[in-house]
Chain A
Amino acid sequence: MRMSDPLLVIGDLVKRFPVRAGIFHRKVAEVKAVEMVSFDIRSGEIFGLVGESGSGKSTVGKTLLGIYKPTKGSIRFKGRDVTTLIKENLRFFKKEAQMVFQDPKSSLNPRRSIKSTLEESLIVHKIAKNGREREKIVVDLLGMVELSPSFMYKYPSMLSGGQRQRVAIARALALNPSFIVLDEPTSALDVSVQAKIIRLLQRLQAERQMAYLFISHDLSLMRTMASRTAVMYLGRIYELAPTEELFTNPLYPYTKTLISAVPVVSEEERRMKPKKQSAGGEIPSPINPPSGCTFHPRCSLAQRVCSQQLPELVEVMPGHFVRCHVVTNA
């Protein structure tokens, strides 16, 4: 594998969840959470995935790490297909790729002490020789996220949201991974706490040269964190570009709607927002998405072809991909 090869390559990933009904639990419908998603992440890069509910962004993150089994498609980490790994190889992958979950209230087991939660990785992968050594490593981990050793025997209910999220980050770091999926890591936190956690994440990333998949619905945060960003809607990527390019020159109508809907504080931000394009209507359900381009019912630029045919993801400018008939035909 060459140095310039991407760390993670996702090809045509599909994840569908069955909806079951009746006493025999027959499948009556499918939630098409992720449909034909492809992108790659380079070593040491922060890649952003932005979208609203139903976009499938969280599902992508969890499928990458094996929490869900993909329905179709390939996930290659360092050149190897990870969907078929078992035993030692699987364990090796777990050490390389970790996750920080969204809600610090539910991602830490309320009945386990912080020490127990952080020790889990060490015990499972037999990293330390005995309890004393494990204790020392846990203290080190807490230090990495700026928490004092006194937190070891506390329980999550005694910690604030920011502190809990720091513990979640420490847990992800325990195995020294090269890739971390961050699923809305600060959405549940206050703004001032978020700032600290974001700085912590940025510092850790720079120090350890890790790659991040940063998933969020907060566009402003995305601009601060990610070097490249993909916009997802109802399970598909509709626009992918270097972050700066995405904000200064958004092409896909939904992207423009998203940016214009963000409530901002300063005049400067207000000026940079695209003209207020409100997309009327609700976000459709992923069980029954609209035909063709799934955004067409809410799109002010929709044409006949938009409801008939799903557009392809086209590179309209170097590094800038869009999936839109109106844009590619212009």
Chain B
Amino acid sequence: MEADQRALSSVGLEITITRWIAFKDRVGRGWYRFRRNPISLAGGSMVLLVILLAILAPYVTPYPRHAGPFTDFSSIFQAPSRSHWFGTDEVGRDVFTRVIFGYRVSLMMAIVVLGISVPFGVFLGLVAGYFGGWIETVIMRMTDIFLALPPLVMALAICSAFTPTIEKAMLAVACIWWTWHCRLIAGITRSLKTEEFVQASQTIGSSHIRILFKDILPNCASAMMVKITLDAGFVILVGAGLSFLGLGVQPPKPGLGTMISYGAAHLPMKWWLTVFPSLAIFFLILGFNLLGDGLRDMLDVEAEGI
């Protein structure tokens, strides 16, 4: 009895150690591939930088109060200088500060939109791809309809129907965005469902839901990772576009698109009002795109078995 217990506990220890080693190995391998790829590294750093800046906005910006309602008509339209790196805007607020706080809004947009549309789209995609038949037809035709409408136009329509706020803008974009993910996941599921490991689970008697979430979904993860990263950039762009048209972030809240919109009227004399927010958006979206491309290269290489 005692010998049994000792044997069991030593097996238990071996198992725990194994678990830790296996985990370390997987993470280590992934990191090795990641850091060898200059594109993903560059993109990842850019995105990480922006995220950090956004989170720590109140602490890293020189004039955090400028992010809110603030006016100082004595220092309006100042060109970039040592005290105002990006200059000041039409009511005297520091542009640099507002750009950093504007990042918060952009990132929030990405999180909310993707957070709503991805789970919804993935779930519908799984169901459509796995069950096929009329279920698939219905879902796919729905996505066809949504896909026929350009996201920006749709968002415009939805936003202008109500009083525009940033929240409504996010919801509007989310409403259309799920279709892309649905399509992607449906395609992958359709090809995976004939795989032998799915048949094996069927032979065991697993329920369809179990198969969808434990067998098929994890295999979609890599494609999803790439798509979500690339999507993030695009969603931010759409959000900025909406704000530019006046349907997103409302003043005095800082929003990159809004800032560009207001600054456009003062071109080319007071160029810093548009150039810096534009560069900021460019930087963030480029970062996401590079990250997504790098991830895709990494995963292709993994498929080749390096």
Contacts and interface: CB of A to CB of B under 8 A. Distances in A.
A110 B215 CA distance: 9
Contact of B23 (A95, A98, A153): A153
A109 B197 contact: yes
Contact of A106 (B18, B21, B195, B210): B195
Interface in B1-47: 8, 11, 14-15, 18-19, 21-23, 25-26
Contacts of B15: 135, 139, 149, 152-153
A150 B197 CA distance: 22
Interface stretch (B201-209, B240-248, B292-300): B201-209
Most buried by A among B19, B202, B204, B214: B204
A153 B204 CA distance: 21
Interface in A141-193: 149-150, 152-155, 158, 168, 171, 175
Most buried by A among B201, B205, B210: B205
B71 interface: no
Contact of B205 (A124, A153, A171): A124
B200 A112 contact: no
Given A111-B218, A113-B22, A139 B11 contact: yes
Nearest to B222: A111
Contacts of B214: 112, 116, 120
B250 interface: no
Contact of B206 (A111, A124, A152, A153): A124
Contacts of B205: 90-91, 94-95, 121, 124-125
B215 A103 contact: no
| Interface size classification for chain B | 20 to 34
Contacts, number: 87
Given A67-B202, A99-B200, A125-B205, A109 B19 contact: no
Contacts of B8: 136
Contacts of A152: 15, 18-19
B196 A153 contact: no
B287 to A, nearest CB: 28
A98 B201 CA distance: 11
Nearest to A92: B205
A175 B218 contact: no
Contacts of B153: none
Nearest to A103: B196
B160 interface: no
A111 B219 contact: yes
Contact of A120 (B22, B206, B219): B206
A67 B11 CA distance: 37
Interface residues of A, number: 40
Contact of B196 (A98, A101, A136, A139): A101
Given A99-B203, A112-B218, A125-B205, A149 B18 contact: yes
Contact of B197 (A66, A102, A108, A125): A108
Contact of B203 (A91, A98, A106, A111): A98
B11 A149 contact: yes
A59 to B, nearest CB: 12
A94 B204 contact: yes
Contacts of B202: 66-67
Contacts of A117: 197
Given A110-B219, A152-B15, A124 B204 contact: yes
B18 A124 contact: no
A150 B218 CA distance: 23
B18 A150 contact: yes
Nearest to A67: B199
B221 interface: yes
B186 to A, nearest CB: 16
A154 B20 CA distance: 11
Nearest to A174: B204
Nearest to B207: A124
A116 B201 CA distance: 11
B263 to A, nearest CB: 48
Contacts of B199: 62, 67, 101
A215 B26 CA distance: 36
A62 B198 CA distance: 13
Contacts of B23: 153
Interface of B: 8, 11, 14-15, 18-19, 21-23, 25-26, 195-197, 199-207, 210, 214-215, 218-219, 221
Given A153-B19, A155-B22, 11 more contacts: A62-B199, A66-B202, A67-B202, A94-B204, A101-B196, A109-B215, A111-B221, A120-B210, A121-B204, A124-B204, A124-B210
18 contacts: A66-B202, A90-B205, A95-B205, A98-B204, A101-B196, A101-B200, A106-B197, A107-B196, A108-B200, A109-B218, A110-B219, A111-B218, A120-B214, A124-B207, A124-B210, A125-B205, A150-B18, A175-B204
Q: Which 3 A-B pairs have the closest CB atoms?
A: A111-B218, A153-B22, A94-B205
Interface of A: 62, 65-67, 90-91, 94-95, 98-99, 101-103, 106-113, 116-117, 120-121, 124-125, 135-136, 139, 149-150, 152-155, 158, 168, 171, 175
